Amino acid sequence: MTPEAPSVPPLPLLDRERSILAFNRRVLAQASREDVPLLERLRYVTIVSSTLDEFFEVRMADVVEAARSIGNGAASNLAALCEEARALIAEQYRLFNDEVMPALQRQGVVVLNHAERDEPQRRWVAQFFQSQVRPLLVPVSLDPAHPFPTVANKSLNFIVRLDGRDAFGRENRIAIVKVPRVLPRVIRLPDELCPGRQGFVLLTSVMRAHLGELFPGRTVEAFSQFRVTRDSDLELDEDDVTNLRQALRSGLTTRHFGQAIRLEVVSSCPDGLANFLLSQFALAPSALYRVNGPVNLVRLNQLIDQAEGEVLRFPHFEPRYPAPGLVANRPLFDQLREHDVLLHHPFDSFEPVVQFLREAVEDPQVLAIKQTIYRTGAESVLMELLLEAARRGKEVTVVVELKARFDEEANINWADRLEAVGVQVVYGVVGLKTHAKLLLVTRREHEGSRDRRPAAMPRLRRYLHLSTGNYNPRTARLYTDLGLLTADAGLTGDAETVFQELASQARLRQPQHLVAAPFGLHKRMLRHLEQVRQAAAQGIATRVVLKANALTDPALITALAEAARAGASVDLVIRGACMLPPGLPGQTERIRVRSVIGRFLEHSRIVYFRWGPGEDEEVLYLSSADWMSRNMFRRVELAWPIRDPLLRQRVIDEALVPYLHDTRDAWELDAQGRYTRVSDSGVSAQAALMRLHSP
């Protein structure tokens, strides 16, 4: 009788929400590093505020709903998450108040509150209030005819408790004052009022100093800033929607007034006012967050933008141009017929992508352009080029993802403009987000005699750009991503099939070279992991290296663990949420998980498999997809192999190996979900790549 293999207990997955909070703690840790310039340290503080906003708007909203519908277990989880978030926010404000702002003050950058302003500064602030702020304020005193106003998501407001009677002799005690969104939150004082320093005041400080003027004849007894965060995930029944763009446009209005999730007030807010606000928003006491400083630190970005001083910022970095394999001032189409080009952003310039589209627009032999749009921004040179291509009579097709979270409005506006000039705009597949990033150009080419007269019927040749990141030149300077420019007939033919399927939704042939989700990407990754597992079980040296933003899909996590248990070496570089616990005896001790948090946001998705010594026993893919269930089953995603040995080695040498050996910006994960910084010194992968790519 064959003995049974010993049973292995199920892999205990780490909690996703806690993993997201842990990512925010790693980002916040950058604000405490003395080797990071001061304004950049402040930027990390603001980034945490922004990412926490999204955490509450999306992830915490789901946890709150589960607590309401399921009961005790989910409620306990919600309470624990609230406490973790509260501790993180307390540390954020401690760094802001005790380290970053005092250090900036020592460098001559000061934010002055009312008590710190001298008499000339107070006169200037009073004049600014009267001329720029007061005309936009409409205080609302609450009574039966003036109920609590509708407060938009993340808008900043004041709650005020008043003494005395109003103009009609009534004792309405509570008033609400909305902080105008159209005004700057950070105002720089004239230089002559701050000799030798850069002086700033916050809009809320200006309003706070003059609140009493909004209520003549009454006394302000107490007040507080407050801000409510609401559930902002748009819920649409796409099977019931006849016009997705119109439905989303309507949904964008209601998003600002979804279910309240979090209430922020200043730490000095009286309990009575805080409890009154909680009751107005139907929130439990656990949803209250008292902060020791300005509510909404995100707006301190305006201080970063206005402050001067090179030593306060990261040194300027100019991406390399042209990239390896490209020759400046030579048509890209000519170069791509000879070889593929790999772009590694932000170390390589994004300009070749813009140039690729610009040449396509200006070239009379280009007949058609097709592109996907996910996050391109409210202003985009690429979108303007597509508009110009349509005006020149080219066939332009754009797949616009209207459901790109928090970019819906910009994408709807681009869809309107594109359709107005004759672009064929489609919105992908019902129920799926189109997250794949590709740009396909079809060009008519003659292969004829020396006098350029065609010797035969012209042929149509396709050129393609594939990317792990968005078509956004601004974020291409801030995010690490990889792109491929190619004229490979297999890849370009598959790209044509993808566009045809997105537009017609007809069942077409499966791509032969590209791997697409939701059709086969998940299965392909599982298949490669099984190849690795089987080879490892036979004693063959095997390897898996994955670099992604998140790893949360249970089936892929299980397959990684099984490959490692069989003897494979597994390295995971996961920037954000990771639910795989490394280092569990007998299960994941051969898996190492690290996260790199540096100057740039790690965004590229790469996976390398090796299950034998032969050339046909290894493969490297670039992809638009993270290893999450939503990416594998609820999005249109693409992965593509890098077959050119030189380009594949370049990806390994630049985008994988440095991150496995980073000792300055890397954190390592343990089986309990705790991250530990590898070191505060040593080698930074991003810094090394900047040196390598410096022009």
The answer to whether residue 70 scores a pLDDT higher than 90 is no
Q: pLDDT, tens digit, for every residue of 195-249? A: 999 999 999 999 999 999 999 888 899 999 999 999 977 554 444 444 554 554 5
Catalytic residues: 435
Residues 662 and 684: beta-carbon distance below 8 Å: yes
pLDDT, residue 172, reads 75
The pLDDT assigned to 183 comes to 95
Cα 254 to Cα 62, 136, 150, 230, 258, distances in angstroms: 18, 24, 12, 11, 7
pLDDT number for residue 384? 95
DSSP-assigned beta bridge partners for residue 395? 368
28-63 pLDDT tens trace: 999 999 999 999 999 999 999 999 999 999 899 889
531 has pLDDT over 70? yes
Domains of the chain (ranges plus CATH)? 16-312 (3.30.1840.10), 332-511 (3.30.870.10), 517-693 (3.30.870.10)
Please give the model's pTM, rounded to 2 decimal places. Answer: 0.92
pLDDT tens-digit readout, 470-507: 999 999 999 999 999 999 999 999 999 999 988 887 66
Which pairs count as long-range contacts for 301-308, CB under 8 Å and 24+ apart, including other chains?
301/43, 301/46, 302/184, 302/185, 302/186, 303/42, 303/109, 303/111, 303/186, 303/200, 304/39, 304/42, 304/43, 304/46, 306/186, 306/188, 306/200, 307/39, 307/104, 307/109, 307/198, 307/200, 308/198
Contact 575, 23 (CB under 8 A): yes
- In contact, 655 and 482? CB cutoff 8 Å: yes
Rounded CA-CA distance 470/603 in Å is 10
pLDDT higher than 50, residue 449: no
Whether 252 shows a pLDDT value over 60: the answer reads: no
Please say whether the beta carbons of 122 and 173 come within 8 A. no
Q: What is the mean pLDDT of residues 561-589?
A: 97
pLDDT surpassing 60 at residue 250 = no
Predicted pLDDT at 504: 81
Report the Cα–Cα distance between both ends of the chain, in Å, rounded. Answer: 68
Q: Shortest CA distance to 355 belongs to which of 181, 253, 473, 252? A: 473
Give the tens place of pLDDT for each residue, 13-27: 999 999 999 999 999
CA nearest neighbour of 638 among 498, 471, 473, 496:
498
Task: Report the pLDDT value the prediction gives residue 451, as an integer from 0 to 100.
Answer: 47
pLDDT on residue 241: 41
The full DSSP string for 483-548 is EEEE--HHHHHHHHHHHHHHHH----PPPSSSEEETTTHHHHHHHHHHHHHHHHHTT---EEEEEE
Pairing of strands 459-467, 635-641: unpaired
Token reading at 394 = 């080219």
pLDDT digits (tens, 9 = 90+) for 624-673: 999 999 999 999 999 999 999 999 999 999 999 999 999 999 999 999 99
DSSP code at position 199: E
Span 550-564, pLDDT tens digits: 999 999 999 999 999
User: Is the preceding peptide bond at 319 cis, omega within 30 degrees of 0?
Assistant: no
User: For residue 144, what pLDDT band results from cuts at 50, 70 and 90?
Assistant: low
Count of beta carbons in the 10 Å neighbourhood of residue 216: 7
pLDDT(566) > 60: yes
Of the given ranges (86-90, 430-434, 615-619), which has the lowest mean pLDDT? 430-434
Residues 6+ away with beta carbon under 8 Å from 566: 532, 533, 534, 536, 537
Q: What is the pLDDT of residues 393-436, one digit of tens each?
A: 999 999 988 765 656 777 788 888 999 999 999 887 777 889 99
Mean pLDDT, the chain, integer: 91
Q: Residue 306: what pLDDT?
A: 97
pLDDT of 646 reads 96
Res. 455: pLDDT tops 60: no
Closest CA to 428 of 439, 418, 436, 420: 436
| Beta-carbon contacts of residue 637 (< 8 Å; ≥ 6 apart) | 435, 436, 516, 517, 518, 521, 623, 624, 625, 631
Q: What does the pLDDT look like over 259-277, one tens digit per residue?
A: 899 999 999 999 999 999 9
pLDDT at 551: 98
pLDDT number for residue 454: 52
pLDDT computed for residue 167 by the predictor: 57
High-pLDDT (> 70) share of the chain, %: 91
pLDDT at res. 235: 55
Q: Residue 627 carries which DSSP code?
A: B
Q: Which runs of E-coded beta strand occur in 274-363?
A: 288-291, 341-345
Residue 264 structure tokens: 């922020």
Q: What residue type is 346 in one-letter code?
A: P
Q: What is the arithmetic mean of pLDDT over 577-588? A: 96
Say how far apart CA 554 and CA 632 lie, in whole Å: 12
SS3 assignment, position 265: strand
Helix (H, G, I), strand (E, B) or coil at 232: coil
pLDDT over 70 at 1, yes or no: no
Provide, rounded to the nearest whole percent, the portion of the chain with pLDDT above 90.
Answer: 78
Q: What is the mean pLDDT of residues 325-346?
A: 96
Note the pLDDT of residue 521.
Answer: 96
Bridge partner residues of 554 (DSSP): none
The two three-digit tokens of residue 135, written as one number: 């005309």
28 close to 48: Cβ distance less than 8 angstroms: yes
